[in-house]
Amino acid sequence: MSFKIRLSWNRHKVFRALGFFPVAFTLGLMLWSAYTYAQSVIPLIWRSSMLLAGLCGTLTTVLWALTMWSYAICVFLGPGAPAGLAAPADGHYTRVSTVNGTLRSESHDGDSQHYADGNDSEYSDDEGPLTEEQVRRAELVYSITVRDNGQPRFCLKCNGPKPDRTHHCSVCGSCVLKMDHHCPWLNNCVGFRTQKAFVLFLTYGWLYCVLIFVPSVAFFFWEIAELSDDTEISINFIFLLIMSCVFALALLMFAAYHVYLLLTNTTTIESYEKNNYRVEARQRGTRAKYVNLFDMGPRKNFIQVFGSSWFMWLVPTNTAMGDGMRFPISFEGYNELRQNID
């Protein structure tokens, strides 16, 4: 028993240590891009216009700093863990699972609990039946979801309750509040406390790459057209041109996808696990639609992560609303779900 625990501890330490290689690569790439841009691109722009060179240099520096700030928060700030749990002071929701299957209801200790049969996955809660003590501890968490078997969500690895949208990360070795995914480029999980910084990192990183690529490609063709015996184009400049284009396209797709998840109040895990509530359509029995109870509308979803103070929206510090263990739900979707279950 003790040997297994020690082996697991060493495995997580090794994974975390190896995870700093992608982080070091990312930091090196950012430093190299800033150096190459200042050495190779800015002088070309300076020949054409000193004002344009100053403007491009200033904007690039600001975006580089904001990208690095956001990245540092994603790497070094913990995404949030379900610690210090206490019994809810008010109310109790009926727990509903979010997996695909046929909805059914069952009584448990006098409470009506509605859930669905589903398939196990990497983040599945069905790791075996819970003891009475574990069920009692899990009941202290203000939760509206259950395991696939209808029991309260409980992590047998951390030996603690799982609030809604919390998952266990096998790399970090702990449960993460509102876990989105584990990112190897961050050597950290994207979760409740770091979702805003991650979205800003993708956005600022994309803008930084675009601001590098556009003037670089413009003055590259200008240099080709004005090619003379004393014209030199460094290999670093060519690599910068290629890398900025590749990363601009990649970051655009990632940023667009995570903005979509943000505005629909969905995590990456919930999107591919189909962790939405399945309701049969009234028009045809063969069709079905998913109801995301956490989706409060784009504006409220945005404020839930970025906060209500607009002047902090561009700052990558944590301004998320709530504690990461309880989330407001859409009662319109909840009532629709209940009507289809009853």
Condensed to tens digits (0 to 9), the pLDDT of residues 184-197 reads 999 999 999 999 99
Instruction: Pick the range with the lowest mean pLDDT from 17-26, 81-90, 212-221, 312-321.
Output: 81-90
pLDDT the model gives residue 11: 63
pLDDT the model gives residue 116: 30
pLDDT the model gives residue 320: 95
Query: How many CB atoms are located within 10 Å of the residue 87 CB?
Result: 8
Please check the confidence at residue 111 and state whether its pLDDT lies above 90.
Answer: no
Q: What's the rounded mean pLDDT across residues 287-315?
A: 86
Query: How many CB atoms are located within 10 Å of the residue 88 CB?
Result: 15
pLDDT band at 74 (very low <50, low <70, confident <90, very high): very high
pLDDT the model gives residue 255: 97
Residues in Cβ contact with 281 at an 8 Å cutoff, skipping those fewer than 6 apart? 287, 288, 289
pLDDT band at 10 (very low <50, low <70, confident <90, very high): low
Please check the confidence at residue 342 and state whether its pLDDT lies above 80.
Answer: no
Distance of CA 246 to the CA centre of its chain: 22
Please check the confidence at residue 208 and state whether its pLDDT lies above 70.
Answer: yes
Highest mean pLDDT: which of 130-139, 178-187, 272-281? 178-187
Q: Quick one: tokens of 132?
A: 């009475």
Q: What's the rounded mean pLDDT across residues 84-89?
A: 40
Q: Are 141 and 163 in contact (CB under 8 A)?
A: yes
pLDDT per residue as tens digits for the range 232-269: 678 888 899 999 999 999 999 999 999 999 999 999 99
pLDDT the model gives residue 265: 94
pLDDT band at 119 (very low <50, low <70, confident <90, very high): very low
pLDDT the model gives residue 40: 87
Q: What's the rounded mean pLDDT across residues 147-157?
A: 75
pLDDT the model gives residue 145: 74
Query: How many CB atoms are located within 10 Å of the residue 172 CB?
Result: 21
Residues in Cβ contact with 235 at an 8 Å cutoff, skipping those fewer than 6 apart? none
Closest CA relative to residue 178, chosen from 21, 327, 13: 327
H helices present in the chain, as ranges: 2-18, 20-36, 42-48, 50-76, 132-138, 195-225, 235-264, 268-272, 298-306, 331-341
pLDDT per residue as tens digits for the range 211-234: 999 988 888 777 666 665 555 678
Residues in Cβ contact with 176 at an 8 Å cutoff, skipping those fewer than 6 apart? 79, 80, 81, 166, 167, 168, 169, 189, 191, 192
Please check the confidence at residue 21 and state whether its pLDDT lies above 50.
Answer: yes
Query: How many CB atoms are located within 10 Å of the residue 188 CB?
Result: 25
Please check the confidence at residue 146 and state whether its pLDDT lies above 80.
Answer: no
pLDDT band at 202 (very low <50, low <70, confident <90, very high): very high
Spatial separation of the C-alpha atoms in residues 171 and 16, rounded to whole Å: 7
Spatial separation of the C-alpha atoms in residues 44 and 39, rounded to whole Å: 9
SS3 of 267, please?
coil
H helices present in 87-167, as ranges: 132-138
Please check the confidence at residue 281 and state whether its pLDDT lies above 70.
Answer: no
Give the residue numbers annotated as catalytic, written as ranges.
Answer: 183
Share the mean pLDDT of the chain. 77
pLDDT band at 149 (very low <50, low <70, confident <90, very high): low
Higher pLDDT, 90 or 181: 181
Q: Judge residue 149's burial from the number of C-beta atoms within 10 Å of its C-beta, 0-12 exposed, 13-18 middle, 19 or more buried.
A: middle
Spatial separation of the C-alpha atoms in residues 67 and 201, rounded to whole Å: 5
pLDDT the model gives residue 33: 95
